[in-house]
Structure 1
């Protein structure tokens, strides 16, 4: 497969911190947060003009599913657009609760575990050929995903328990996985979910649904996370020999690896001697390097992915985390936590350090600690300036562009539309529904014909509306009422 479709679904944590007393419960807070969503689409489950989906998931978790993307940078930009949209919603919700007599601030966190120990996910989706042998895929992919946390984990301050001291771990998600492979998502919470909904031609493709990943704040980490997984999948699809790292107990292994920041934790490999996570990852990296040398780079970011992969493994293996403390989430966060601990004389189990951990994932660009680090040059970025703002209003060059066209044009006419990943229709013309199975399609005459039914000026209006919205700087992800936050001059407090 020369081209691949990527997507990521991000669940966010939300909380209300009042000036005094107890905060609003999550379900009530979620209703405030999604009030503009319901106003926009008459539902709490909608598709928006940039081609992505917004909805409330189980447990009142706001969720943003990126538009389908055929380019890794487009994916990361569209994913981060979701962070900004959630922040815009929080700003509006905070104003609304104040009008209703509630005080305090609303926090939206792009992390994977709350203070009560509940977990929520960041689910990756990869379109793969139907011909891919699933047994071979799982046998190779599971060891890769179990050990991938050492190169793309978000990091976590783990509080002390009766059995263990407080410590820093690679992953937020590792402790909350219960099976290697399963069709369930919440009950069993597997590393790989077998639910097969390709949202394309099911005869030729299937959707690989990976739910083990940590939510990344760093765009560099996201590039390595998605890019390395794509390379492993391409090797599997090509049928090249990769090596046998099948784990005896993936769930025991993923937890064992997460809690040993030295990277020396050994796990049982079926029919072979024990391996460390670094050894497994290095074996896969070396095979990927040979694969690229033999077959060529399939996109312009491959060399960057391989370099980051190599450097991350060297950092873990040598214990020199300065090699990646600008590039990989867990190392960026670990450095910050250690600086705060040293400056204030705190032990790892101190509540203040747990708060630093949480604040790292705050999507508020003025308050979130990761955003402060990036502004201060302590976190690298693979996105160009303005890429996220553009991704809030512009779908990627895939089928998402057609979906966004339907939503935007119908709204401009005051018409009602109904879309999902595949189906597109105007509510008052249900018999004219258009089904698009090709996720790579960026033009389709049937969509043009459908929108032309809105009026003679529909094509001109579609172009003019997009141009006007881009020029105004307004956030059209949901509603024209909320302006995008800019990047004003800040008198920032010290991080520590």
Structure 2
């Protein structure tokens, strides 16, 4: 059995396209409820005893509604796989989620139409859109991280200084709010009880009404958000200081050696994106939102590669030998092979790091510049400046990790590892020869070819680039057509282009039907699932 627990959390956008322009549309919260009901009709599920609510599926996965406090009605759907033993099982359960949503699509659409909404349901799996919205596909790896004596000493000193004051401030704030609520509710009850009494009841009735109106004001989304911002302002200095503590103590070696792999794996797991200038396909949808290497992630506009927020929610886990490493720099994939490689190659690099296998430090000189180079290089020829003064292409860095993984694993490897190594070598060799060879396996290649084919009459990608700079109606229509292909490529359901390519035999399934069907109904092999 594979020693590592792996899980994937994926956010899906929810939208309704009215049949007539300007027609009525349900809010995302209502769409989520229809989708949840449709999924529960497909597989057994139980309500989740979680702050976010949602339901646990028979597989051990979680489906729930995700939204910011200030925009609670305008949220999204999030699904988390069960904790899986190994990358290929995690990839299988991840795409089984897509299968469940696709099966429930028609039922959810029907439920919304019975409420009087005319139009089409859109469940999107893209990691970003042209409006600047970004959705997550976060990877979680259980890793072996043994802190040395100096790190433990530093934790013993810094932990009580920075984390405990922040938590005490939060608890004090919550206690004050809760106590005020119950006191007001009790006083309101007393006032409503005395209000009917002749002569003395009138003032109490006025007080009861005032308390009720005050409660309505307090529990509006806008007011609650003001209180939340006040709490954040009060605790942020301590959180920022704790962030520095975590950067020094939460698997620093693993982050440093894994980072170059995460930046360059885009060459085979990038979903592709039609950029605003339309010059050529970009590899990643999420690249522009990644701003720094690691930290406590609070700001949607500035995402780190590694999120350390779980050590705020579960601070005791920083002391454990086996910890959760959360990777935010991951795009959602339509290609099942891309997902399997995305998880499988990362798992192999982590295994080398945990075992102390000697790896060259290929840290890029500038993270954002390195991501931009890989993202904007479908020819795969540009070099990335490294911190040691040298430079390598993304393919060269990936070949280095593959060679070290093959050396580390040797000849006698278990079937799952052999499968990952074989597919890793296959895609790197094909990318070096001609990326078009992978039009059935790699999302960005399939999307690039699809745009070129669909817009051949307009000149393909050359026509898209010309349209992006031309201030004409024809140019705007050409660019909009390319962006529509970009968005619909990742749509879940009968109108999604990615699933249509698979049905037409132009995309490789990788996981067969029975495997996916079992993963929609049965738990993963992990005992925790």
What residue number does 1:26 align with? 28
Match of 1:358 in 2: 487
8 Å contact from structure 2 (residues 39, 100) kept in 1:
no
TM-score by length of 2: 0.69
Aligned to 2:140: 125
C-alpha separation in 1, matches of 2:451 and 2:443: 12
Shift of 1:88: 4.1
> Equivalent residue for 1:53?
62
Residue equivalent to 1:12? 12
2:399 is the counterpart of 1:282: yes
Deviations 1:414-469 (A, max 9, x none): xxxxxxxxxxxxxxxxxxxxxxxxxxxxxxxxxxxxxxxxxxxxxxxxxxxxxxxx
Equivalent in the alignment of 1:116: 131
Give the alignment partner of residue 305 of structure 1, picking from 417, 420, 427. 420
**Structure 2: which 5+ residue stretches go unaligned?**
69-74, 148-249, 469-478
In the TM superposition, what is the alpha-carbon distance from 1:312 to its structure 2 partner? 2.7
Shift of 1:260: 1.4
Match of 1:367 among 490, 495, 498: 495
**Partner Cα distance (2:97, 2:513) in 1:** 16
Q: CA deviation at 1:216?
A: 1.1
Spell out the pairing of 1:276-355 with structure 2 (5 A cutoff): 276-293=393-410, 296-297=412-413, 299-318=414-433, 320-342=434-456, 345-346=459-460, 347-348=463-464, 349=468, 350-355=479-484
8 Å contact kept, 1:147–1:281 = yes
Q: 1:15 to 1:166 in 2, by over 3 A?
A: farther
Residues 289-346 of structure 1 show CA distances to partners (whole Å, capped at 9, x for unaligned) of 211226x42x31323322332333334434x113211112211222222211225545
What is the deviation of 1:15?
A: 1.5
Contact map agreement 1:139 1:246 (CA 8 A) in 2: yes
Counterpart in the other structure of 2:157: none
More helix by share: 2
**Structure 1: gaps spanning 5 or more residues:** 402-496
Alpha-carbon distance, 1:90 to partner: 3.4
- Please report the TM-score for the alignment, with normalisation by the length of structure 1: 0.73
User: 5 Å matches for 1:186-265?
Assistant: 186-187=299-300, 188-196=302-310, 203-265=320-382
- Provide the aligned C-alpha RMSD in A: 2.6
Q: Is the 8 A contact 2:395 2:428 kept in 1?
A: yes
Instruction: Note closer, same or farther for the CA distance 1:342–1:36 as it changes in structure 2 (3 Å cut).
Output: closer
Instruction: Quote the residue 1:149 is aligned against.
Output: 266
Q: Name the stretch that deviates more: 173-182 or 88-97.
A: 88-97
Structure-2 separation of matches of 1:78 and 1:314 = 28
Please give the alpha-carbon distance, in whole angstroms, between the structure 2 residues aligned to 1:293 and 1:273.
Answer: 29
Aligned to 1:379: 507
1:82/1:359 CA distance change after superposition, 3 Å: same
Is 1:389 the equivalent of 2:404? no
Larger radius of gyration: 2
**Matched-pair contact (CA < 8 Å) for 2:18–2:120:** yes
Q: Report the Cα offset of residue 287 of structure 1.
A: 1.0
Residue 176 of structure 1 corresponds to which residue in structure 2? 289
Q: How far 1:25 sits from its partner (Å)?
A: 4.0
8 Å CA contact 1:73, 1:383 repeated in 2: no
**Preserved CA contact (<8 Å) 1:142 1:250:** no
CA distance 1:336–1:396, change in 2 (3 Å):
same
CA contact (8 A) 2:84 2:526 kept: yes
Instruction: Tell me whether 57-66 or 191-200 shows the greater mean CA deviation.
Output: 191-200
SS in 2 for 1:3: coil
Alpha-carbon deviation of 1:358? Answer: 1.3
CA displacement 1:168-191 (0-9 Å, x = unmatched) = 111111111121111215443111
* Match for residue 104 of structure 1 among 99, 104, 119: 119
1:116 is paired with a residue of what secondary structure? coil
- The CA distance in 1 between the partners of 2:304 and 2:452, in whole Å, is 32
Structure 2 CA distance for aligned equivalents of residues 393 and 249 of structure 1? 45
Q: Which residue of 1 aligns with 2:214?
A: none
